[in-house]
Amino acid sequence: MTRKQAHITTAVKDVDLVIEAKTKGWQMILDIALAIGMQQTEHTLWFGVQYVNKKGHRKWIKDNRYVLDHRLDKRKKPLQFALRVKVFPEIFSKVDDRIAQVLIYRQLREHIEKGELNCPQDKIEVLTKLAEDDNIEGYMNAARNLEEYGKMYFKLTRADGARVDLTVNHSGITVSCRNENSAITFEEIQVTKTGKTSVCITKAGQASKAIKYKTEKPRSCKKVVEAIESYLEVYRQTRNVHEGSVSKDNETMYSSDTVPEGEAMVREDSSLERPEEVEVTLNDSSEHTGYRVDVP
Where residue 175 falls among pLDDT bands split at 50, 70, 90?
Answer: confident
Where residue 67 falls among pLDDT bands split at 50, 70, 90?
Answer: very high
Where residue 190 falls among pLDDT bands split at 50, 70, 90?
Answer: confident
pLDDT, residue 260, reads: 37
pLDDT, residue 97, reads: 96
Lowest-confidence region among 16-25, 49-58, 107-116, 184-193: 184-193
Where residue 202 falls among pLDDT bands split at 50, 70, 90?
Answer: confident
Mean pLDDT to the nearest integer, 88-100: 95
**d(C-alpha 204, C-alpha 286), whole Å:** 30
Length of the chain: 296
Kindly state the percentage of the chain with pLDDT values over 70: 73
Residue 153 has pLDDT above 60, yes or no: yes
To the nearest whole number, what is the mean pLDDT of the chain? 79
Are 261 and 58 contacting, i.e. CB atoms less than 8 angstroms apart?
A: no
Phi/psi at 238 (nearest 5 deg)?
-80, -20
Kindly state the percentage of the chain with pLDDT values over 90: 52
Domains along the chain with CATH numbers = 3-85 (3.10.20.90), 92-143 (no CATH), 152-282 (2.30.29.30)
Lowest-confidence region among 49-58, 78-87, 88-97, 181-190: 181-190
Positive or negative torsion for Cα 146, 150, 155, 156 = negative
Residue 84 has pLDDT above 50, yes or no: yes
Where residue 179 falls among pLDDT bands split at 50, 70, 90?
Answer: confident
Q: How far apart are the first and last CA of the chain?
A: 34
Where residue 16 falls among pLDDT bands split at 50, 70, 90?
Answer: very high
Positive or negative torsion for Cα 202, 90, 177, 290 = negative
Distant-in-sequence, close-in-space partners of 110: CB < 8 Å, separation ≥ 6: none
pLDDT, residue 276, reads: 37
Mean pLDDT to the nearest integer, 245-251: 43
Q: Which residue has the higher pLDDT, 1 or 270?
A: 1
Label residue 174 exposed, middle or buried (CB < 10 Å: 0-12, 13-18, 19+).
Answer: middle
Phi/psi at 200 (nearest 5 deg)?
-105, 140
180, 238, 202, 236: which is closest to 43 by C-alpha? 238
pLDDT, residue 192, reads: 63
